[in-house]
Each structure stands twice: as C-alpha cells, then as structure tokens.
Amino acid sequence: MAKLNFGGTEENVVTREEYPLDKAKQILKDEVIAIIGYGVQGPGQALNLKDNGFNVIVGQRQNSPTWDKAIRDGFVPGVSLFPIEEAVQKGTIIQYLLSDAAQIAAWPTIKPYLTKGKALYFSHGFGITYKERTGIIPPADIDVILVAPKGSGTSLRRMFLQGRGLNSSFAIFQDATGHAKDRVVALGIGIGSGYLFETTFQKEVYSDLTGERGTLMGAIQGIFEAQYTVLRVNGHSPSEAFNETVEELTQSLMPLVAENGMDWMYANCSTTAQRGALDWKNKFRDATLPVFKDLYASVARGEEAQRSIDSNSQPDYRVKLEAELAELRDSEMWRAGQTVRSLRPEKQ
C-alpha cells in the first residue's frame, strides 16, 4: 500500500500497478462471490468481476425485472443466477448491493447464511454505520468490508469497457479471518477501480450523503434552477438559458476540470470569464458554506439516514418518487435540455 501526500496530509492508497489483477485473482481463486441485488451497483460490479475472471454468481428475486436483466447480461439460472437465499448460501463473499431500504428488509433472510469465515461486502456504509436504526448487525465471526466506487454502477461499467477505472474507497469494519484486507483490496481491483483510497464505514457514508445532497446532485440542481430562472425572467430564451446553465458546464467545462483541474479549466477560458469566476467564487462559497455545515451536521446526527429509512419504507414511496422525478423531467429547463441533447451532432 502506497502513501500519497495531499497538501501535507498522507493517505493510504492502492494502485493497479502495485496490486495487479493477477494478484487479486490469486487471492480470491477459491472464493465464490455472490452479488445480492442487481439494481444500481450490482450489474456493473458483477459484470466487471465476471469479465476479469472471478467466480461470480448473482442472487436476485425470481421473476422480477432485475432477474430478467441478469439473464440478458449472461447469468444463467441454476448455474450463475439463483434466488437470494441460495446465492448467499453458496457464496463465500456476499456483496450486499441492495438499496439501503431493501438491505434492511432482507437482513433477516440473509443473516442465517452468514456463517463463520465468510465476508460481507458493502458499497455504502449506511447499513453498518446506522446499525442501531437499520438492525444490520453482522455476526462476529465474519469479515465486514466495503468498496465504494465514486460513481454509479453504470459509470463503473462504462469506464471498465473503455479500459479506464472509477476510483473507489475501501474500508474494513470487522476482520474476523485475518484476511479482510487482502479480500477487500482484491475485490476493489476486481470490480475495476482506478485506484483505492482508505476510509472507514462512517466516513464513507458521511461524505457520501453530504455529496449526494450537495455538489453531486442536490446543490447542483438547486443552482441550475436558480440561474436558469434568473436568465428566463430577464428575457433569455429556454435554449440560451439551458446552454449557459447546463450544457456548457457538462459538455465543455467539466471535462476540462476532470482532465487537469479547475485552474487548468480557468486557464483555458477567456480572461473575462477567468476574472468573473475568480471575483464571484468566494461569494458563492460564503453563501453556501452555512448550508453545507447544516447538511453535514444533519448527516452526523443520523437525521438524513432516518428520513431515508422512513420515506423509503413507505408502501407508496415509488409512486411519490416518480411524481417528484416527473416534476423535474417536465420542468421547462429539463424539457429544454431534452431538445438541446437531441440537437447534438452524432459522432462521426
């Protein structure tokens, strides 16, 4: 494990150069990796592991859309695709990739099959960090580990197919066998991580919940709405407002940030844009810093977790969720976005 220095702070990281795929395969050569859940993270991790030569099976509810999706992806009923209980029984490493709410519901079914020496793997620290709220308390004689890709399962798979890797964090909550570290790092390499950085279950979920509600999704949508509204109120067309708010950011500027950093993106914009961005960034920082402090405190108190548990467990949650997503989808801004995307030139 290498130590990298980030502005005076050292972090433990694992790269594919120091921990090649062949080493990961050797460590897990006798393991059966059971992917439980085939929704958001399951397909990407299962397919990447399978393509990398690991022994992977999928556990999913029979005759469900996700069961059918697993079949379309090449998993064979009775060979590499099983009902959840059977997959957990067969697996030596259980990748528990159901949604947080589904993990809570399925836990009484899963727990009896978590026998001595197995590993229970998460890609989110929610269930363990808030175990008093979720009831997910693992047996003491199994490893409990985490690899959390910093992106969706779809992105993990797409980048794998492009020969790239999505960075992931890793953590060990419980090392019952003495081999938890080897297991978790090998799995992180196996799913196609770019590099792995060390964290804890608690830090993973605190940063994840803050990020999702903040710059990754919640805050960015709120900022989009605010700027788009101001432009429209001041007479700009939907096309102009959308292009200046979303399209230029996602299609032109963010790829530059991803390539070489924010300073490099600034350096590749006009001097007028640079000056304005530098003048206004602190105003936006100072305006939003109190909101982020409130958000992190809410996460740390467990309020965000409880809200998720309470809302996601409601029988009509999916109906209400679809109504909220439809409100986004049907808003003028995102209808303008649909039109703008349709006008992008096709790749030659």
Q: What is the model's pLDDT at position 348?
A: 42
Q: What is the model's pLDDT at position 11?
A: 82
Where do we find the tokens 């995307």?
341
Is 197:11 a contact under the CB 8 Å cutoff?
yes
Residue 137 pLDDT grade (very low, low, confident, very high; cuts 50, 70, 90): very high
Please give the span between the terminal C-alpha atoms of the chain, in angstroms, as a whole number.
43
Predicted TM-score (pTM) of the model is: 0.88
Q: What is the model's pLDDT at position 124?
A: 92
pLDDT greater than 60 at residue 333: yes
The DSSP string of 152-178 is -HHHHHHHHHTT--EEEEEEEEE-SSS
pLDDT tens digits, residue range 147-166? 999 988 999 999 999 999 99
pLDDT greater than 60 at residue 208: yes
Averaged pLDDT score across all residues of the chain: 94
Q: Long-range contact list for 333-336, CB < 8 A, 24+ apart? A: 333/224, 333/225, 333/228, 333/238, 333/241, 333/242, 333/245, 333/246, 335/238, 336/238, 336/239, 336/241, 336/242
Segment 280-284 shows an average pLDDT of 96
Tokens, residue 329: 């989808």
β-pair partners for 13: 2, 197
Q: What residues act catalytically?
A: 124
What is the side-by-side order of every strand in the sheet holding 166-174?
2-6, 9-15, 193-198, 166-174, 143-149, 119-122, 93-96, 33-36, 56-59, 81-82
pLDDT greater than 80 at residue 1: no
Q: What is the model's pLDDT at position 345?
A: 86
pLDDT greater than 90 at residue 26: yes
pLDDT tens digits, residue range 70-113? 999 999 999 999 999 999 999 999 999 999 989 999 999 999 99
Residue 324, SS3 per DSSP = helix
β-pair partners for 147: 170
- Give the C-alpha separation, 52 to 146, whole Å: 19
Q: What percent of the chain has pLDDT over 70?
A: 99
Is 102:37 a contact under the CB 8 Å cutoff?
yes
**Identity (one letter) of the amino acid at 206?**
Y
* Of the candidates 121, 144, 258, 99, the residue with the CA atom closest to the CA atom of residue 194: 258
Q: What is the 3-state secondary structure (H, E, C) of 10-61?
A: EEEEEECCCCCHHHHHHHCCCCCEEEECCCCCHHHHHHHHHHCCCCEEEECC
Is 91:183 a contact under the CB 8 Å cutoff?
no
- Give the C-alpha separation, 82 to 66, whole Å: 12
Tokens, residue 199: 């964290």
Q: What is the model's pLDDT at position 347?
A: 53
pLDDT greater than 50 at residue 178: yes
Is 56:92 a contact under the CB 8 Å cutoff?
no
Helix (H) or strand (E) holding 120: strand 119-122
